[in-house]
Amino acid sequence: MRSLTCRTALVFFAISVGAALGQTSKNAEDSILAADLAWEKVYSAKDLEKTVAFCDEEGSMLVPNNPIVTGKAAMAKAIASDFALGDLEWHANKAVVARSGELGYTSGTYEQKVRDASGKIILDKGKYLTVWKKQKNGSWRVLMDMFNSDLPPSATSTF
């Protein structure tokens, strides 16, 4: 029994060290990256219902040239406007999750084909930052979503 107790203690110790070394964090990063990818899939397909389902009830969108919007209904409106603006794709290149596992962010680059005032298609390129909150059921929801263009102001002033 004594030996078993020691072994059990060692297993707990190993798990603790593993967590401290960031092994748990690696799984959490994979999980938040999977959420980012799943959101991109329904967003780029312009599926409004499935896209809005990723938004936290108290989430906000911080869209360039517009005031911040907060709450699921307001986010749905902003997303619908974005769908109408053009075709968007993005790709995460960074993911960080807190040790406690319920808060994290993803960041990366986007490309959006936007129709300008004259009807011409312009390729906008930029970057984004999304803060995610893990729900009690384990799924990630968007708390804050922000982006801005890499292009010079003159290139984006017509859309």
- Sheet with 55-62, strands from edge to edge, namely 69-70, 55-62, 140-149, 121-134, 103-115, 86-97
* Distances from the Cα of 158 to the Cα of 82, 89, 126, angstroms: 15, 21, 16
Min. distance of Cβ 3 from its own copies in angstroms?
27
Partners of 61 in beta bridges: 69, 145
By CB under 8 A, residue 85 contacts its own copies: no
> Is 8 exposed, middle or buried (CB count within 10 Å of its CB: 0-12, 13-18, 19+)?
exposed
Min. distance of Cβ 116 from its own copies in angstroms?
10
- Closer residue to its own copies in complex, CB, 50/115: 115
Residue window 45-64: x/- pattern of binding to its own copies, with contact defined by CB under 8 A = ---------------x-xxx
- Closer residue to its own copies in complex, CB, 45/67: 67
Of residues 105 through 124, those in contact with its own copies by CB under 8 A are 105, 107
Site residues for its own copies per CB under 8 A = 60, 62-68, 96-105, 107, 127, 129, 131, 143-144, 146-154, 156-159
